[in-house]
Amino acid sequence: MGIDKSRELFQEKNLRLGNDLNNANLILTLQDTVRPFVKSITPKSSQTLTINLSEAIKKISSLYLTEKSSGEMIPVYEYVIDGSMIECVTGITDTNSYLVMLESISDYRDNVTEMDSISFTNTQLPDTTWLVLDSLSHEDGQTVTTLKPEFTIRFNKIIPEDNLSVWLIDTENNKPVELDITKNQGYSFIVKPRYLLNNYVPYSFIINEETSDYEGNTMEEGVSISILPILYD
């Protein structure tokens, strides 16, 4: 009897062992049940560290940092998951020994480690390097075919939303436009005007050099581009 493979996933057939006319092909698959775990810690500065995991992970439920001998909690301001790494910004640490604890580490096959921890000693100095703009979604002089354009900004470091200083200026009357700012992840933001822009009017989008990271590092200089919204009837 035939089987419709598009509708039926399995076929049943009685086999009599020892009969040379009967045969069956068996295919075995290996299921990944290995749970993710923390491999190492790489301190990058007195407030920034990278947690290296055994594989790419999807999410965690909590991340804690404590001073190992006293048990004192050190604040974790923010973290970003990037494949098998987690970059996080913490309160200021010194040369003491610390313990990092992660709860409910889940990989992309839904293997979950309920709790894992690792100790380390941070000997890094505070970060004093400039904050750098990695990318901006629009180029200087670009024409945009919408009256509500989005600007995607990405920096080289994690920065708090309150430290982002941006302006959108109507160059005809030199008035700022009200903006909505959404933090896409630790490094990037989406900025868009709250209301529709004026058609055929050039605007200046400005990222102020006062924009800074958690450790107070600002941009070496600000960035300014011009865009022209054109929406055809």
Q: What is the pLDDT of residue 9?
A: 47
Q: What is the pLDDT of residue 6?
A: 47
Rounded Cα distance between 6 and 9, Å, is 8
Q: Evaluate if residue 91 carries a pLDDT over 90.
A: yes
Beta strands in 91-155 (DSSP E): 97-107, 112-121, 133-136, 142-144, 151-155
Q: What is the pLDDT of residue 27?
A: 58
Distances (CA, A) of 63 to 34, 86, 101: 21, 10, 6
Domain map (residue ranges) of the chain? 38-121, 133-229
| CATH T-level topology, domain 38-121 | Immunoglobulin-like (2.60.40)
- Tokens 């923010």 identify what position? 78
pTM of the model: 0.81
Mean pLDDT, the chain, rounded, equals: 90
Identical fold, 38-121 and 133-229: yes
Rounded Cα distance between 68 and 66, Å, is 6
Distances (CA, A) of 187 to 32, 46, 157, 197: 32, 19, 6, 27
Q: What is the pLDDT of residue 14?
A: 60
- Written out in words, the top-level CATH class of the domain with range 133-229 is mainly beta
Rounded Cα distance between 68 and 71, Å, is 5
145, two tokens? 């075919």
Give kind and range of the element (H or E) at residue 206: strand 203-207
pLDDT band of 32, cuts 50, 70, 90: low
